[in-house]
Amino acid sequence: MTDGVHTTPNERLDTLAGELTNRFAGFGCELERGLGELTLVLPVGRLLEVARTLRDQSEFHFEQLIDLCGVDYGTYGQGEWETEDASVTGFGRGVDRADVRIQESDRRYAVVYHLLSLRHNMRLRLRVYAAGDMPMVDSVIPIWASANWFEREAFDLYGILFRGHPDLRRILTDYGFVGHPFRKDFPLIGQVEMRYDPEKRRVVYEPVSIEPRTLVPKVIREDNRFLRATAAPQVTLPNA
């Protein structure tokens, strides 16, 4: 890759795309380009090999991991807030799990990595998919130490396991929390609640007591019947 001093962003992106294609042609990767960004989709079994190459090879030199997050594509592309139906029947994903049409496939869960090359002034996004109700990918902590807390967050919120992580514990939710709140089939009211019990002198966990309810979105439609009522009054000025 060039040093980026005398090239445009599009030219640098073209160069990076070509080098990624040449280097990982036989790895089963997919390269996506849009909005001035590149995303390399790679098989989960190739993650560590590809990540190490992107960090160490001089033409890439993505020495910094700036973010890592989980994604649940369970209801991707499905419009839960279709206003023509929701204004009548309501929106009950948090009430009845059966209402959620979860896409069960090998590509439901994904881990996304955002890389930065300070030397080349370039960014790259990696995406790997993990299958099953207990998705698992390799930890990239040996390659980028900054992944430690990011991987714990993805585990906590999505239930994604990271093989080889030295201390995979929850980091945002409470120790007694049940489930993973960013999964699409997690109920909006939760599953347990906690409170301080003055008799036991400790925090206790109990089944959630919030009343389930169906939500109805606010729908604004164009209606000519109200245009005249809301129009500004006409004022007639006297003749001079």
Q: Are 65 and 146 in contact, with CB atoms under 8 Å apart?
A: yes
Distance CA 168, CA 161 (A): 8
- Tell me, yes or no, whether 225 lies in a domain: no
Owner of token pair 């609640």: 193
The pLDDT value given to residue 92: 52
CATH number for position 212? 3.30.460.80
Token pair of 168, please? Answer: 């995979």
Residue 74 structure tokens: 């369970």
Indicate if the alpha-carbon torsion angle 130, 184, 160, 56 is positive or negative: positive
How far apart are the C-alpha atoms of 227 and 50, rounded to whole Å? 60
Q: What per-residue confidence (pLDDT) applies to 218?
A: 62
73-127 pLDDT per residue, tens: 987 776 655 555 555 555 555 444 444 456 667 889 999 999 999 999 999 999 9
Q: Residue 40's closest CA among 103, 106, 111?
A: 111
Check whether 56 has a pLDDT greater than 90.
yes
Q: Which residues contact 134 (CB under 8 A, 6 or more apart)?
A: 159, 161
Domain count of the fold of the chain: 1
Query: 158-167, 184-193, 200-209: which has the minimum mean pLDDT?
Result: 184-193
Residue 236, in any domain of the structure: no
In a domain, 226, yes or no: no
pTM here is: 0.76
pLDDT value of residue 166? 96
* Domain boundaries, position 67: 9-218
Among 24-28, 174-178, 232-236, the range with the most confident prediction by mean pLDDT is 24-28
Tell me how far apart the alpha carbons of residues 125 and 187 are, in angstroms, rounded to a whole number: 30
The amino acid sitting at 85 is: D
